[in-house]
Amino acid sequence: MKARRLTIKSKITLWYASFLLILLVVFSIILYFTISGLLYKSNEDLLRADADQVTSILRFEGNVIRFAEPYKIISTNTYFVVFDMNGNANLESEILPELVNLPIEDEEIRYITIDDVLWAAYDKPLKLNDITIGWIRVSRSMESLMGTLNNLKLILFISIPLYILFASLGGLFLANRALRPIDDITKTAGKISKGDLKQRLKTPRTEDEVGRLTVTFNEMLDKLEAFIKKERQFTSDASHELRTPLAIISAHAEQSLSGSKGTKEYKDALKKILEESKKMSYVISQLLMLYRSEEGKYKLDSEVLDLNVIVEEIMKEYGNLALEKEISVDFKSGEKIKIKGDQTLITRLIINLVDNAINYSKESGRVSVSLTKENNFAIIKVEDSGTGIAGEDLPFIFDRFYQADRARGGQGSGLGLSIVKWIVEVHKGEIEVESKLNQGTRFIIKLPLNL
Ligand SMILES: Nc1ncnc2c1ncn2[C@@H]1O[C@H](COP(=O)(O)OP(=O)(O)O)[C@@H](O)[C@H]1O
Ligand SMILES: [Mg+2]
């Protein structure tokens, strides 16, 4: 439960140190036993070689064994004793009595401790014509070998903790360096949660995990900031858009209430009020549609639609409105064109375009709608010979609340085309616009056919 409160740094270091400790201990044990095995082995080889060497200078005279030449012991710490057939010591170097008294055992290397010192003893039978006539025992003190092994043990015991210490310090340093950007992220996130959306993380030059995290985090912040900005803009535009008709309504109502007026004046005022409330309710319904679309909450009610029928009905309704402005409308279509889509939305799409074409038309202008097919797409063209859109306005007309010419626009809200764009997008279509100022505008919409 304490481990949970450890920082990642200490956790990494702890894991690293424990792993290294296990590794070093295992390595040391293997090293120690390998070296000690090798030392014992070479010691035993030496014993046998010494025995052979002493044997080679012995001479047998009957039962008596003598040296053929003055002997000299080849290795330091090596002693010997020669036994006759009865096991009596015959010739000997300055060997310890304990080693002389050891019972004879053929070809066997034994280890015994005398006065805290380990000795190795080896008995080799002496043969004459294949008959054993005695034994030679060679003994070596193991003191220096034990000393070597003890030194090795000491070195390993001291060096392991030192290794671990240095490795841990190094590991801690590296972990610290690697994780420092995360501390930065935490601090920045803290500032942002206090409301400072402008804060960004310093992007490290490396393209490691933390570098990528930083970049992703900054991208997320960019999007978040843009989103919040847009949301604020939307709210302010929306309230502005609703305040104007509301002010007109209040003004008319106040005027009517101040002093008595004739029926005609009251009627006119009420007409104005009705007009403005209709505009408000239109704006609100458009806003609601846009809001739902942005939230991704709009549920498409897809069905197979006959575009000819939909366009014809809209043209019938808008024909009268056009007639009032002395604008001629016409609709051309060669064949039946069916798409899959949401009827309410597709109708809204065409209404918004036709509505614009009529609104921004000049007196005795012309509005035409055409329906064609092209490579699995239905092509809807809405053209007018109206005011046109200036080149500098063109990139913005699909933005919410954007109106190229507010003074003339009058009844609009600047929401129509942003809704059009959204409807085209949810139907996986495309929209293009071509326009020349004072000559006219053409909207071209491509929607996938229902095949
Ligand atoms: N057919 C058109 N001819 C000229 N200008 C147009 C046409 N359609 C759209 N526009 C311009 O694009 C702007 C945005 O259109 P829209 O989103 O429908 O808003 P609204 O019609 O409410 O002003 C309009 O204000 C107008 O300036
Ligand atoms: Mg419009």
What's the CATH number where 270 sits? 1.10.287.130
Average pLDDT for 368-386: 95
**Confidence band of 37 (pLDDT split at 50, 70, 90):** very high
Give the ligand at the shortest distance from the Cα of 402: 1
Which residue's CA is the nearest one to ligand 1's atom 22? 412
Q: Please tell me the distance from the alpha carbon of residue 350 to that of residue 413, in angstroms, as a whole number.
A: 17
Q: Please tell me the distance from the alpha carbon of residue 408 to that of residue 70, in angstroms, as a whole number.
A: 134
Which of 267, 294, 321 is at the close of a domain? 294
Give the domain range for residue 116.
Answer: 3-151
Average pLDDT for 171-193: 84
Average pLDDT for 330-347: 93
Average pLDDT for 326-336: 90
What are residue 109's DSSP bridge partners? 122
CB 358 within 8 A of CB 327: yes
Ligand 1 proximity of 416 Cβ (cutoff 6 Å): yes
Q: Which of 105-119, 144-158, 224-238 has the highest mean pLDDT?
A: 144-158
Ligand 1 proximity of 356 Cβ (cutoff 6 Å): yes
More confident residue, 149 or 297: 149
**Confidence band of 207 (pLDDT split at 50, 70, 90):** confident
Which of 151, 167, 199 is at the close of a domain? 151
**Confidence band of 71 (pLDDT split at 50, 70, 90):** low
Which residue's CA is the nearest one to ligand 1's atom 24? 403
The pLDDT score that the predictor gives to residue 366 is 93
Q: Which of 82-86, 91-95, 409-413, 441-445 has the highest mean pLDDT?
A: 441-445
Give the ligand at the shortest distance from the Cα of 415: 1
Mutate-to-test residue for ligand 1 from 356, 359, 408, 444, highest number of ligand atoms within 8 A of CB: 356
Average pLDDT for 178-202: 82
Mutate-to-test residue for ligand 1 from 362, 398, 403, 415, highest number of ligand atoms within 8 A of CB: 403
Residues 401 and 419 in one domain: yes
Give the ligand at the shortest distance from the Cα of 396: 1
Ligand 1 proximity of 378 Cβ (cutoff 6 Å): no
The pLDDT score that the predictor gives to residue 3 is 54
> Which of 18-22, 35-39, 70-74, 249-253 is predicted with the least confidence, judged by mean pLDDT?
70-74
Q: Is the pLDDT of residue 290 over 70?
A: yes
Provide the residue type at 266 as one letter.
Y
Q: Is the pLDDT of residue 228 over 70?
A: yes
Q: Is the pLDDT of residue 148 over 90?
A: yes
Residues 288 and 304 in one domain: no
The pLDDT score that the predictor gives to residue 73 is 57
Q: 413: phi > 0 → left, psi -120 to 50 → alpha, else beta; which? A: alpha
More confident residue, 223 or 128: 223
Which of 294, 310, 327 is at the close of a domain? 294
The pLDDT score that the predictor gives to residue 447 is 97
**Confidence band of 142 (pLDDT split at 50, 70, 90):** very high
**Confidence band of 414 (pLDDT split at 50, 70, 90):** confident
Residues 124 and 248 in one domain: no
Q: Please tell me the distance from the alpha carbon of residue 55 to that of residue 80, in angstroms, as a whole number.
A: 11
Q: Which of 28-32, 236-240, 326-330 has the highest mean pLDDT?
A: 28-32
Residues 320 and 413 in one domain: yes
Mutate-to-test residue for ligand 1 from 360, 383, 421, 437, highest number of ligand atoms within 8 A of CB: 360
Residues 281 and 314 in one domain: no
The verdict on residue 163 lying in a domain is no
Query: In ligand 1, which atom is closest to the CA atom of 443?
Result: 1
Residues 91 and 214 in one domain: no
**Confidence band of 1 (pLDDT split at 50, 70, 90):** very low
Domain count within the chain: 3
> What percent of the chain is modeled with pLDDT above 70?
96
Q: Please tell me the distance from the alpha carbon of residue 224 to that of residue 218, in angstroms, as a whole number.
A: 10
Residues 132 and 66 in one domain: yes
Residues 441 and 327 in one domain: yes
Residues 438 and 377 in one domain: yes
More confident residue, 105 or 34: 34
The verdict on residue 28 lying in a domain is yes
**Confidence band of 387 (pLDDT split at 50, 70, 90):** very high
The pLDDT score that the predictor gives to residue 191 is 85
The pLDDT score that the predictor gives to residue 80 is 87
Ligand 1 proximity of 357 Cβ (cutoff 6 Å): yes
Q: Please tell me the distance from the alpha carbon of residue 75 to that of residue 89, in angstroms, as a whole number.
A: 21
Average pLDDT for 405-418: 72
Q: What are phi and psi of 150, to 5 degrees?
A: -65, -40
State in Å: Cα 315 to ligand 1 middle.
19
Residues 335 and 288 in one domain: no
Query: In ligand 1, which atom is closest to the CA atom of 418?
Result: 17
The pLDDT score that the predictor gives to residue 372 is 96
The verdict on residue 83 lying in a domain is yes
State in Å: Cα 363 to ligand 1 middle.
17
Ligand 1 proximity of 78 Cβ (cutoff 6 Å): no
- Run of H or E including 92: strand 89-92
Chain centre distance of CA 279? 49
Residues 243 and 323 in one domain: no
Query: In ligand 1, which atom is closest to the CA atom of 411?
Result: 22
CB 366 within 8 A of CB 373: no
